[in-house]
Amino acid sequence: MLGHRKLSPEDYFRILKKRAWIVIVPAVVFAAVGVGLTFFVPPRYESQTLVLIEQQKVPENFVRPVVTEDLNSRLASMQEQILSRSRLQPIIERFNLYGNKGMGMDARIDMVRKDISIKPIESQIARTGGLPGFFISFRAEDPHTAQQACGEVTSLFTSENLRERQASAEGTTDFLKGQLADAKQNLDEQDAKQAAFQRANAGRLPDETGANMSMVSALNSQLDAVTQQLSQLEQNKTYGETMLATQQRDLPTGDQQRVQPQVQQAELQQLQSQETELTTRYTDDYPDVVAVRRKIKELREKMAKAPAVSPTPAPPTPAPASTASTKYDPANIVAMKAQLHAMDQTIAQKRQAQASLQAQLRQYQDRISSSPTVQEEFKQITRDYQQALAFYNDLLQKMSASKMATDLERRQQGEQFKVMDEPNLPDGPSFPKRSVFLSGGLGAGVFLGLLIVAWIEYRDTAVRTEQDIWAFTKLPTLAVISLAADVTQRETKRKSLFGGRKDKIAAANKPLMNAGG
């Protein structure tokens, strides 16, 4: 009746009660078969060990670890390396794993990979998110082989962790060493560029602007003072030349001839003194030395060409004694010419000082005017130098930290894998489990029995209840006439009673039709 109408819980209970033997028999048979299979399947033994992860012994505030990769990722990477052919083949050959199966090395390696199991232990402490350790297990057909192979795999993990951390630390140190050398070279180049710029722009740098302004003010004051002194000297020279011209004009001809050699001799002595002073300070090629020597040569030629003067003085012309001694004194004329010559030298020196002050003033003014451009270039060079210096100092600190972390790894004071439990010797096989096979066979038998019951009920089209009649006719039942025969007769007449299903249904509904008529 399955599939012909919707069943109620009572229907299911009735069906199971009626056909329970169909479910029980397959369940018992399959359970027995499952248990029997455990005696034919080769046993497998599993050895397991616990590896804890010890954190760095030195606080991270003092030495920061260079290996910052997530432990889960690192563990997965190590697992792939350890499960490689180069690592597993020595273990397979040493313990002759699957040697009696007649398999090739590739198939044996695949089987061993399936026998190795890595199970991480998640931290149970809230908000830590750490990985305190992991289990390593190995399955084999012999318990001693499983134990020894598990120990080999565990040693591979511990040694690989040490090697990988040390290699990572040393690789980081070598990389930083190369970067530090490049940063040092760049810093030296920036330093040399800055020094060359400072030498090329000495006096124009930003920090020298105040000093340049002060020098301009001081040079202006000195230039004003020299200009005033030069003006005063030129006035005095003009006055002295006027006085000398007056005395020479009023001097008699004979006195002029006697005075002239004396004046030339005095001038020659002054030029020779000037030459001596200049040669002590400058070389013979210096322009002032050459000019003085030229004047001395010209003066000597002039004195040589001058007519000789009689040593006998001419009789003085009668004149008042006081007037002759003051107005026509030759020594006074010589002294005045010497004073005028000294004035000329002083004026020349003042003019040189004036020109020098003006040149210095222009130089400092040029420095001040070009200071903004130089300041911009110097700022760019200084910024590049500061960046290079900061990068170098940062790399230097990282290099020091990396060296300490590398030394820490070499001393095995960093993060390590510690074997807490040595691989155990299995007491019994981990596969096959009789309870598992029993449960599997029982479940398969029950499922098969239920499937058979469902198929039988689906094929059964007998009408037994009012619900069955309603499912076929969709008409209500007016009355039910029970059979007076016994159970045996009912069983024998069941087929004939329900053989002609349509006729019987029509006969059952005939009183209803007559009543309607």
How confident is the model over 126-178, as pLDDT tens digits? 444 456 788 999 998 889 999 999 999 998 888 888 887 778 778 888 888 88
Q: Into how many domains does the chain fold?
A: 4
Q: Are residues 448 and 367 in the same domain?
A: no
Backbone angles phi, psi at 44, to 5 degrees: -125, 135
Report yes or no: 195 and 424 within 8 Å, Cβ to Cβ.
no
Render pLDDT for 272-311 as a digit per residue (tens, 0 to 9). Answer: 777 887 788 778 888 888 888 888 888 788 777 766 544 4
C-alpha pair distances (Å), 164 with each of 161, 167, 406 = 5, 5, 12
For residue 85 the two structure tokens come to 């052919």
- Would you say residue 482 has pLDDT above 50? yes
Residues 462 and 468: their CA atoms lie apart, in Å, by 8
Does residue 392 fall inside a structural domain? no
Q: pLDDT above 70 covers what percent of the chain?
A: 75
248 burial (CB, 10 Å; 0-12 / 13-18 / 19+) is middle
d(CA 310, CA 254): 10
| Gap between the Cα atoms of 377 and 294, Å rounded | 51
pLDDT tens digits, residue range 323-336? 444 444 566 776 77
Q: What angle do CA 271, 272, 274 make, to 5 degrees?
A: 65
The predicted pLDDT at position 157 comes to 86
In a domain, 224, yes or no: yes
Instruction: Assess if residue 71 is contained within a domain.
Output: yes
Are 474 and 515 contained in the same domain? Answer: yes
Residue 192 inside a domain? The answer is no
pLDDT in tens, 348-387: 888 888 888 888 888 888 877 777 777 788 788 888 888 8
Tell me the pLDDT of the chain averaged across its residues.
76
- Residues 51-62 have a mean pLDDT of 72
Which pLDDT belongs to residue 447? 92
- 444 and 305 within one domain: no
Asked whether residue 43 carries a pLDDT value surpassing 70, the answer given is: yes
Cα 165 from Cα 168, distance rounded (Å): 5
- The answer on 510 and 450 residing in a single domain is no
Q: Which residues have a Cβ under 8 Å from the Cβ of 412 and sit 6 or more positions away?
A: 162
Whether residues 341 and 373 fall in one domain: yes
Domain with residue 88: its CATH number is 3.30.70.1130
Average pLDDT over residues 101-119: 88
Q: Are residues 158 and 253 in the same domain?
A: no
In 67-146, beta strands by DSSP E: 116-121, 133-140
What is the pLDDT, as a whole number, of residue 297?
Answer: 83
pLDDT of residue 6: 72
Separation of alpha carbons 480 and 485, rounded Å = 15
pLDDT in tens, 192-204: 888 888 787 777 7
CA 390 to chain centre: 14
Is residue 157 located within the same domain as residue 280? no
* Amino acid, single-letter form, for residue 309: V
**What is the domain range of residue 450?**
7-41+433-460
Q: Are 266 and 337 in contact (CB under 8 A)?
A: yes
pLDDT for position 257: 54
HEC readout, 353-413 = HHHHHHHHHHHHHHHHHHHHHHHHHHHHHHHHHHHHHHHHHHHHHHHHHHHHHHHHHHCCC
In angstroms, rounded to a whole number, what is the distance separating the alpha carbons of residues 264 and 319?
28
Q: Quote the DSSP letter at residue 428.
A: S
- Same domain assignment for residues 367 and 238: yes
pLDDT digits (tens, 9 = 90+) for 430-470: 777 778 888 988 999 899 988 998 888 777 777 667 776 77
> For position 505, what pLDDT does the model report?
47
Q: 486 phi and psi, to 5 degrees?
A: -80, -175
Considering the domain architecture, whether residues 80 and 112 belong to the same structural domain is answered as: yes
DSSP one-letter string for 320-335: -HHHHHHHS-HHHHHH
Same domain, 358 and 230: yes
Same domain, 18 and 114: no
Measured CA distances, 491 to 201, 480, 482, 485 (Å):
128, 19, 14, 10
Any domain includes 223: yes
Q: Is residue 333 part of a domain?
A: yes
Compute the average pLDDT of residues 34-63. Answer: 79
Residues 470, 453: one domain?
no
pLDDT tens-place string over residues 238-284: 888 788 777 766 655 555 555 566 666 777 777 777 788 778 877 88
Question: Are the C-beta atoms of 423 and 49 separated by less than 8 Å?
Answer: yes
